[in-house]
Structure 1
Amino acid sequence: MTQLQSPTETTESDEAPVGRWSLTMAWWSLFSAMFWLYISAASAAAYGPRATLIGLVATVVTYGAINRVLATYALRTGRTVETLSQLIFGRIGATCASLLLAATALYYGVFEGSVIAASLQNWFGGNIKLWYLACVLYAVPLAFGGVRHWLDRLNGFLLPFYVVGLVALVVAATVRQGYPSGWLSAPGPTSTLPGWLGSYLIFMGVWVMMMFTIDFASLGKAADARFHRRATFGPLFYACTFGVNGLIGIYIVTAFGVGGTETGVVQAVVGSLGFAGVVLIVISQTRINTANYYLASTNLEAVARGVFGVRLPHIVWVVVCGVAAYSLMLTDVLGYLLQALAWQAVLIVAWVAVVLVHVLLRRNHDRGENTQVTSLAMAWLAASVVGIGLHQQTYWPTLATVAPLVTFLVGAIGAGVVLRRGGPGVDEVQPAG
C-alpha cells in the first residue's frame, strides 16, 4: 500500500467536510435495504420471532455503541478504512482491509440489484439477464458524484417515499391477508443455542456496517460529532434499520405464509402492493445501492492506487464495479454469495475487534503512518484464522455458529495484549515526512 495521501493527491475525503444533514441523508440510504427485511425474517424462521426480537434489541445496542466510538474517531481524524488500517496494520493490512470492504460492498450491491431484477421480471416478465443489465446501467451513474455532490440529495428525496411505502406495505398486507395473530409469539425450532443468541450472531454477519461507518464519518466535520453520534451513526439509525425493518419483514412474511428468504420477501411485498410494491423495491434498492457502489469503487480505487500505482478518475472505478457486479449476477450468485459473505464476515469482525481496541486505548497516539506489518496485524490474522476454522469445521455445529463471537473475543484480547505490552504497533509509527 502506498503512503497516505500526499498534499498533491486528493480524494473525496480530502475535500471540504460534508455538512451534517448531507452526510446524514447519504448515510441513511443504508436504512432502506430489502436485505434488512430478509435477514430478520430468516432469523425468525431459524430461531422464532420472539427470540429474534430480543436479538434485534441486543444488536441495536451493540451496533449503536460500537459505531458511536468509531464514528467519533473518524470525524475527529478524517481517517478512512484505508488510512486507519495502514496506521494499525501497515501497508499490506491497509490493502487487505480496502479490498475486503470493496468486495463486501460489491457483493451486497449484487444482492440488492438481483432483488430489483427479480421483482421486475416477476411483474413484467422477460429475460432476467436483461433486467440485471438494466439495474446496473441505471445504478452506476448515480454513484458518479460521490456523497457530497449527489448521493445526499438523491437519498434525501427518496427517503420519504420509502417510509410511506413501508406503512402502505403493512396496511396492504393486513387488508389482503388479515392480521397474522401470534406473529411474534410463534415458537421457533429447537436449537442448541439460546434463540436470542443465535439471532444476534446472524446480525454479526453484517458488521461490515462498522467499516461503512468509518468511511462515511471520515467525510464529516469534527464539530458535528455530537449530532452524528445521535442522529446519524448511533442507536437511532439501527433502531430504524434493524428494528423497524426487521419487524415489518417478520410481519409480512408471516402474513403471507412464505419462507423467510429473499424470494419470499419479494413475493410478500409485491403480493401486498402489486405494482406499487415493485416501485417500493426499486426505490429501496436504489438508495442502498448508491452507497454500495460508492464504497466499492472508492476502496477499489485505493487498492489500485496503493498496489499498482494506478490513478484514474473515480468514475472509471464506478464503471469497473458495475461491470463486475453484472458479471457476478450472471453466475449462480446465491450459490456462493452467502458462503463468501460468511468468510468475509469473520475477517471483518476480527478487523473491528482490533480497530475498536486500538481506538479505545490509543486514540490520542495515532499520528503518522506505518509501512510495516505490525503485531496488531498478527492479532487480526490470528482471530480470522480461528474464526474461519470454527466456521468451516463440521464436528461441533454449535462452535461453527458462535464463530463470529469467538473471533471478536480473540481479536480484542489479542489487540489488548499487544497494546498493553507496547508491541510494534502505533507507538512505533513515525511521522510521515
Structure 2
Amino acid sequence: MSQPQPERGHMMPRRTFNRWVQNPVLEDYALRYAPKSFRRWSEWTVMNSALGGIAYMADFAIGGSVALTYGFANAITSILVVAAIIFLTGIPIAYYSAKYNIDMDLLTRGAGFGYYGSTLTSLVYASFTFIYFSLEGSVMAQALQEFFHIPLAIGYLICSLIVIPLVMFGMTALSKLQVITQPVWLVLMLGPFIAIAFKDPSAFSHWVQFGGASASGSHFSSLEFGLAAGVTLSLIAQIGEQVDYLRFMPNLSTQNRSKWWLAVMFAGPGWVILGAIKQLGGSLLASWIAPAMGSKAADEPIKMYTQAFHTVIGSGYAALALATFFVLLSQIKINVTNAYSGSLSWSNFFSRIFHSHPGRIVWLFLNVGIALGLMEAGVFGFLNTVLGFYSNLAVAWIGAVVSDLVINKGLLKISPSYIEFKRGHLYNFNPVGFGSMIIAAGVSIAAFFGAFGAVLQAYSPFLSIALAFVLAPVIALVTRGKYYIARENAFEKSDRHHEIHKHSELPNEIICASCEFEYEKVDMLYCPFHKAPICSLCCSLESQCHDMCKAEQSTH
C-alpha cells in the first residue's frame, strides 16, 4: 500500500520518461536498485545466466597470444596467478552487489568513490565492455570470413548489429538465451580436448616444451611473466558483468542461504575458473597448430577449433562448419552481455553528467558503435598492447573498491556497513576510492611506459592494484571517513538498507513526488527541494536543486 504523499514545496511539472524508460523489461532498472517485485528469477537461473556470458572466445585468443609471445612457463604461471587474484577480489564485490541488488556503478559510489567520483569508473567499465565487444566481434568476423568468405569489414558490421535485438530486452531475454544454449556450448568446447588427448597425446608434451617467441624459451622469466600477467589481469573488470546479473538475485534468507551463497560464488568470482581453463586451452591449441599455420594465425580461435574438430570428425569441411557454429554461438552469448553491461555503464555516466536519461537502449547503440569502430581499426592485431595498458586502470579501480569493502567496512569499520548509492546522501567526490584509484593508475601507467625501469614496467598492473589497495584505508583513516555520507537518510535511520533485506515481505512503497511512480523504500529519499520523497533516479536527474540538501547539511 502506498504511503500518503507529503505536500510538495515546488509545484513543478511531473517528470516524464519516454516509453523505453517506462518499460521495465527494456530498461532493466539501469540506474537504480533492482526491486524485489522484478527479481522473479531463481538462484539457479541467475547463476546460469551470469555464467552464460563466460562463453567468450577471447580467453582462447588471450591464452594463445601469451603462449605464442612468452612461452609455456610464463603463460601458464601468469594465467594461474591472475586467476587467483581475480577470484579473491571478486568475492566481496559479488557478495555486496547480490545482497543489496545493485550494479557495479551503484556499488562503486558507496564503496569510497562518491557520486561524481564514480563517473570515472563508469568510463573504465564502459571501456572494458566495448574493448572486449570489439575483440569478441573480431573473432566472430574471422569465423564468418573463414566459412562464408565474408570480408572482415562487412563481418564486423554483421557481428555488431546481430546482438542489438537480443540486448534490447535485457535480463528477460538474456536469461532464456543463456539457459537454452549452455549445454550445447559446454559439449562443443570440451569435446575436442578429449579427442586430442586420445588421438594426438603428443600435443600435450609439445605444449609443455613450447617456447613461442620468448627469449627464455619454454622456461620461466620473471619479466615475461609480469608482461603476460598484465594482459590477463585486464579481465579483472569482468566481475562487473557478473554483477549486472547478480543484482537480480532473490533476497538472502535462512531458507535459501546455501543456494544463495553457492550461486553467488559460482556466478561471481567463480567465472574465472572457467575463464582460466579456457585460457589454458587456448595456449594448448595455439602451440598445437602454430607449426602448421604460423604464429600469426595460431591465436585465432576459429583456426584453433577448426583443427580441433578435424581431429574429432575427420572431414575438413564438416570440421570448419562445426567450428564456425561454435564460435558464432560463443560470441553471441558473450557479446550480448558486453553490449548489455555497456548500456548500463553509459546510462550511469551520462545521467550524472547531463541530468538526462533517454533510456538504456540509446546507450546500447553508442556502445556497439564504439566497438564497431575499434573492430574496423584492427584492434585484434594489438591485443597484448591494448589489454596490457587497460589493465593498469581496471585493477586500480577494483583494488580500491575491494579494499574499501574488506578493510574499511569490514576491519576498520570506518566506512558505513551498508551501501549508499543515492545522490542526495553522497558527497560528490570521496577521496578514499577516487583518490587511491587516480594515484595508483597514474603511477602504474607511468611505469607501463618505462618511467621506473624494466621490472616495474613489466609489473605495472601489480603495482597498480597494490597501491590502490593500500591507499584506500590510509586515505580513509586520514579523512576519518568524513566523505562517505553527506546526510542521513530519513527513511533508513532505524531501518538500514541491510536490515530491509532481512525481511521476506515486500518493503513499503512510496510515491515519488517528481515522477509520481511508486518505488520501494530502499530506492527513495527525502528531498528538501521538492519538500517530499523522490526516487533515486529523479534525484540523479534533478538539475535545478544544486544539491541544496547537502548544502543545508553542511551548515549545521
With the length of structure 1 as denominator, give the TM-score of the two structures: 0.88
Task: Write the distance in 1 (CA, Å) between the matches of 2:75 and 2:369.
Answer: 37
For residues 3-402 of structure 1, the aligned pairs below 5 Å read 11-12=29-30, 13-15=33-35, 16-17=38-39, 18-87=41-110, 88-147=112-171, 149-170=172-193, 179-186=202-209, 188=211, 189=214, 190=216, 192-193=221-222, 199-223=228-252, 225-235=260-270, 237-243=271-277, 245-257=278-290, 258-259=294-295, 263-272=299-308, 273-334=319-380, 339-360=385-406, 361-362=408-409, 364-366=416-418, 368=420, 369-376=425-432, 377-393=434-450, 396-402=453-459
Offset, 1:192: 4.9
**1:3 alignment partner in structure 2:** none
Stretches of structure 1 lacking an aligned partner (at least 5 in a row) = 1-5
1:340 deviates by 4.5
Contact preservation (8 Å) 1:42, 1:261: no
SS in 2 for 1:48: helix
Structure 1 residues 178, 353: closer, same or farther in 2, change over 3 A? closer
Structure 1 position 169, deviation (Å): 2.8
SS at match of 1:123: helix
Q: Which amino acid aligns with 1:226?
A: W
Q: Which moved more, 1:92-101 or 1:382-391?
A: 92-101
> What is the distance in 2 between the residues matched to 1:427 and 1:154?
39
* C-alpha distance in 2 between matches for 1:166 and 1:29: 13
Deviations 1:399-429 (Å, cap 9, x if unpaired)?
A: 1110010111111111121223444555544
- What secondary structure sits across from 2:114 in the alignment? helix
Aligned-partner Cα distance in 2 for 1:337–1:93 = 29
How far the C-alpha of 1:354 sits from its partner, in A, is 1.1
Encode CA deviations 1:89-143: one digit per residue, 9 max, x unaligned.
1233221111221121011111111111111112221332222221122111111
Range 274-283 or range 176-185, more displaced: 176-185
Give the partner amino acid of 1:382.
I
RMSD between aligned residues: 2.8
Query: Deviations 1:296-322 (Å, cap 9, x if unpaired)?
Result: 011111112121122223223223323
Deviation at 1:238, TM superposition (A): 2.2
Contact 2:441–2:464 at 8 Å: present in 1 too?
yes
Shift of 1:55: 3.4
Percent identity over paired residues: 17
Q: Any idea what the Cα deviations from partners look like across 1:352-396, whole Å, max 9, x if unmatched?
A: 111111101215534544233222111111011011110112672
Counterpart code for 1:411 = A
User: Residue 268 of structure 2 aligns to which amino acid in structure 1?
Assistant: F
Question: What is the distance in 1 between the residues matched to 2:380 and 2:210?
Answer: 28
In structure 2, distance between residues paired with 1:260 and 1:52: 17
131-140 or 17-26, which deviates more: 17-26
Deviation at 1:79, TM superposition (A): 3.0
Give how far 1:196 is off. 5.4
CA gap 1:336/1:56 in 2 versus in 1, 3 angstroms: closer
Preserved CA contact (<8 Å) 1:38 1:260: no
Distance 1:205 1:427, change over 3 A: closer
1:410 and 2:443 correspond? no
Deviation at 1:84, TM superposition (A): 2.4
Moved more, 16-25 or 115-124: 16-25
Distance 1:187 1:335, change over 3 A: closer
With normalisation by structure 2, the TM-score equals 0.70
- One-letter amino acid matched to 1:417: V
Query: CA 1:228–1:406 in 2, change beyond 3 Å: closer, same or farther?
Result: same
Q: In 2, are the aligned partners of 1:142 and 1:150 still within 8 Å (CA)?
A: yes
Distance 1:323 1:139 in 2: 12
Q: Is the 8 A contact 1:42 1:260 kept in 2?
A: no
Which range moves more in the overlay, 184-193 or 61-70?
A: 184-193
CA deviations 1:260-308 (Å, max 9, x no partner) are 7675432222233311101110011111111100000111111121211
Aligned residue pair count: 424
2:34 maps to a residue whose letter is: D
Structure (1 or 2) with the larger CA radius of gyration: 2
Alpha-carbon distance in structure 1 between the residues aligned to 2:439 and 2:296: 34
Q: Measure how far apart 1:194 and its partner are.
A: 6.5
The 3 A distance-change label for structure 1 pair 427 and 263 is: closer
Describe the shift of the 1:36–1:251 C-alpha distance in structure 2 as closer, same or farther (beyond 3 A). Answer: same
More helix by share: 1
Distance of aligned partners of 1:344 and 1:222 in 2 relative to their CA distance in 1, 3 Å threshold: farther
Farther off after superposition, 129-138 or 335-344: 335-344
The answer to which of 317-326 and 370-379 deviates more is 317-326
1:49 Cα deviation (Å)? 2.4
Distance between the aligned counterparts of 2:382 and 2:208, measured in 1? 33
Cα separation, partners in 2 of 1:345 and 1:19, compared to 1, 3 Å: same
* 8 A Cα contact 1:173 1:252, kept in partner: no
Q: Distance in 2 between matches of 1:261 and 1:67?
A: 33
Task: Give the conservation status (yes or no) of the 8 Å contact 2:102–2:247.
Answer: yes
Retained in 2: the 8 A contact 1:107–1:337?
no
Structure number with greater CO (CA < 8 Å, separation at least 6) is 1
CA contact (8 A) 1:253 1:260 kept: no
